[in-house]
Amino acid sequence: AEDMSEALIKLVWWVLYMAPIGIFGLIAPATALLGWGLIQSLGIFIVCVLVGLLLLIGLVFVPILFFVAKMKPSRFFKGTMGAVSVAFSTTSTAAAIPVSLEETTKNLGVSDTVADLLIPLGASMYRPGSALFQGAAIVFLAHIYNVPIAMGTAGAVILATFLVSLTVAPVPSSSVVTMAPALDAIGVPVAGLAFMLGVDRIPDMMRTCVNVLGQISAAVLIDRKNTNPTKDPNSN
């Protein structure tokens, strides 16, 4: 058993070691065909995704926390710094679960029952940052490959993005890999995923943070509505 485990670990190590070379090989032909404008487009795509994630926090999470959950956003963000730091550094929602559970209960006052149910469940099924990234990536790749997205196709993209976001494993770059069915549904070559894998590290760090914040905010909302629905937002 130990020999098998060591062999698998060695195999995974070699896959990770060779992955950058493979990704470079996949991207090189398209870069040669489309020119360095592709690199610029990828840079713009990353910026747009980061802005979208910040807007998701500012326009969705913050109002829900303040007006519905009756919690100061400053307290929320201060109380979740540890979980966000783990999510940012590991790009894994699963790795942040222990810290998320601790901070949700100790710093934000959520009951153990609610936190123990919603945090692991959210890590498996509720990833708003991943859904936003996947929608943007599908539109971007459709543009790169000149695949028009009609109104009916847009509906299919939205549905596919929603369904795919539920299947994303809480591990690094899983959002990219699971986009393949959605791309196939609208006629975009799956080979385009190589572009996303090549630049995914930065968006992955940010969307994992957003995923964790979304899961914790959902736990806060459910706990507040069940236990103290009239609490003043200016209170602790």
Per-residue pLDDT at 128: 92
Q: Evaluate if residue 160 carries a pLDDT over 90.
A: no
Mean pLDDT is highest, among 8-12, 173-177, 221-225, 229-233, for 221-225
Determine the Cα–Cα distance for residues 69 and 81; give it in Å rounded to an integer.
Answer: 19
Up-side HSE of residue 217: CA atoms within 13 Å toward CB? 31
Q: What is the pLDDT of residue 47?
A: 96
Phi/psi at 219 (nearest 5 deg)?
-65, -40
Strand residue runs (E) in 108-220: none
DSSP classification of residue 68: I
Q: Could you give the CA distance from residue 43 to residue 231 in angstroms, rounded to a whole number?
A: 44
- Confidence band (pLDDT; 50, 70, 90) for 107? very high
Amino acid at 154: A
Could you tell me the sign of the dihedral formed by the alpha carbons of 173, 92, 50, 66, in that order?
positive
Give the pLDDT confidence score for residue 227 in this predicted structure.
Answer: 80
What CA–CA distance (Å, rounded) separates 224 from 231? 8
pLDDT reading at 234 higher than 60: no
Token pair for residue 169?
A: 């494993």
CA distance 197 to 38: 14
The model's pLDDT over 178-209, given as tens digits with 9 standing for 90+, comes to 888 888 878 888 888 888 887 888 899 999 99
Are the CB atoms for 188 and 147 separated by under 8 Å? yes
- Tell me the average pLDDT across 42-61: 95
Q: What is the pTM of this model?
A: 0.82
